[in-house]
Amino acid sequence: MKILSIETSCDETSMAVCEIVENNESKTMELFYHGVHSQINIHKEFGGVFPNVARREHQENSIPMLLQALASYPHHIPCQVTDSQQARIRDMLAREERLFLHLEDHVMRRAMRPDLDIICVTNGPGLEPALWVGVHLAQALGILWNIPVIPVNHMDGHILSTLIDPTLATIPYNQKIPLASLDYPTLSLLISGGHTELVSSTESGMYTKLGKTRDDAVGEAFDKVARLLDLPYPGGPEVSRLAREYTHTLPRPEFPRPMIHSDDYDFSFSGLKTAVLYHIKTYTRPLTMEDKQGIAYAFEEAVTDVLVHKTKKALDYTQAQTLIVAGGVSANKKIISALDAMCSAHYPTCTLRIPHRTLTGDNALMIALAGYMTYTKSPHASFEDIRALGRLSL
Ligand code: KG4
Ligand code: ZN
């Protein structure tokens, strides 16, 4: 199945073109294009992501990226746009005037279209103004090329990003690579800027949420602590870098492990962030680099302990055969190695799956993988009613 996928849920505009082939239960994927355009430099100025700024950037960046994607794809077939298609697209993009004009100038006038089977697009969760850009574009292309549009849950994308072998040096283009098949039941620890969730699954596409954060997400806590330490946005990688520089012979604070022993699978990170704030307030002089390193280390250690403890409890309960850790924070090596150590020590038959290092953040390739699974399980599409749903849940 040949797929174009589009992701615009937050501050990355991303598209992928790939083909997934299934033979006797095993699947391969061939990648033709994968573009990720980060808006981080724009949002850095504000210390966070503003939905309407993200929307404007997606509108600017999506057609140039689409043109690159089409240029990288070798299979095109003749097509003619009818007046009725043009009118439907104009209607569809009534609120995306710039997108319509770019599309009309650069895509609709072509006499060829890519030979694709489906378009997969993130329709939530995320920032609604940003999500709508991707959804509208996917719908317009679906009309233009007369192919189905599949709405994809962004978190399902993060989970299925782990189907690609994380040990590959790079994900190659124009070459078939195997996709993993998951052993069920699975347990997914989803850790990103907007989510911290433990989700179990006994079959593809069916999820049961065991627990979630009651306040801040882990990535959000990293970002807020980074701000307290005067580090740039996004703070996760910065805090983690400082933590790695901590010299163990120097003193460091001890922070609480919120809800670590609570009788459920929920998390809470806002108290931990407040504990960091109160600790910083005890200094009567500006923080030195060593102070910041100690704070970053102690914070990361507290987060890691809570994540490992709660995940272990959920593994006990679900007896999962696969532990999936995904989302932006899965780039954190300390958290991953602690989860790996716990898993090997206590659940030797359980396989840990993490995303390839290029797929920990938001990307469209994961949306193609999740859309493929969704569509092959229940192939239906009613794409004109797809809505962007900021709070869509698994
Ligand atoms: O999944 P993602 O790219 O976007 C959302 O859907 O939220 O996750 C972004 C989050 C940010 O909060 C960022 O600070 C965090 O992931 N992050 C990290 C690391 N790399 C990214 N947090 C901790 N350690 C890291 N190495
Ligand atoms: Zn994400």
**143-191 per-position pLDDT tens digit:** 999 999 999 999 999 999 999 999 999 999 999 999 999 999 999 999 9
> Mutate which of 189, 329, 357 to test ligand 1's pocket (most atoms within 8 Å of Cβ)?
329
d(CA 268, CA 310): 11
What confidence score (pLDDT) does residue 48 get? 75
d(CA 39, CA 72): 23
Q: Do residues 334 and 243 make contact, with C-beta atoms less than 8 angstroms apart?
A: yes
d(CA 132, CA 147): 19
Q: Which ligand is nearest to the CA of 155?
A: 2
Using pLDDT thresholds of 50, 70 and 90, give the confidence band for residue 382: low
Q: Is residue 355 lining ligand 1, measured as CB closer than 6 Å?
A: no
Q: Is residue 5 lining ligand 1, measured as CB closer than 6 Å?
A: no
- What atom in ligand 1 is closest to the CA of residue 331? 26
Q: Is the pLDDT of residue 43 over 80?
A: no
Q: Is residue 362 lining ligand 1, measured as CB closer than 6 Å?
A: yes
How many other β-carbons are positioned within 10 Å of the β-carbon of residue 263?
7
pLDDT tens by residue, 268-299: 999 999 999 999 999 999 999 999 999 999 99
Those residues with Cβ within 8 angstroms of residue 21's Cβ, 6 or more apart along the chain or in another chain = 1, 27, 28, 29, 30, 176
What's the mean pLDDT in 60-77? 97
If 0-12 CB within 10 Å is exposed, 13-18 middle and 19+ buried, where does residue 60 land?
middle
Q: Is residue 10 lining ligand 1, measured as CB closer than 6 Å?
A: yes
Q: Is residue 327 lining ligand 1, measured as CB closer than 6 Å?
A: yes
Cis peptide before 185, with omega less than 30 degrees from 0?
yes
Q: Is residue 328 lining ligand 1, measured as CB closer than 6 Å?
A: yes
What's the mean pLDDT in 63-70? 97
Using pLDDT thresholds of 50, 70 and 90, give the confidence band for residue 384: confident
pLDDT tens by residue, 78-133: 999 999 999 999 998 998 888 899 999 999 988 899 999 999 999 999 999 999 99
What's the mean pLDDT in 249-271? 97
Find the 332 Cα to ligand 1 centroid distance in Å: 9
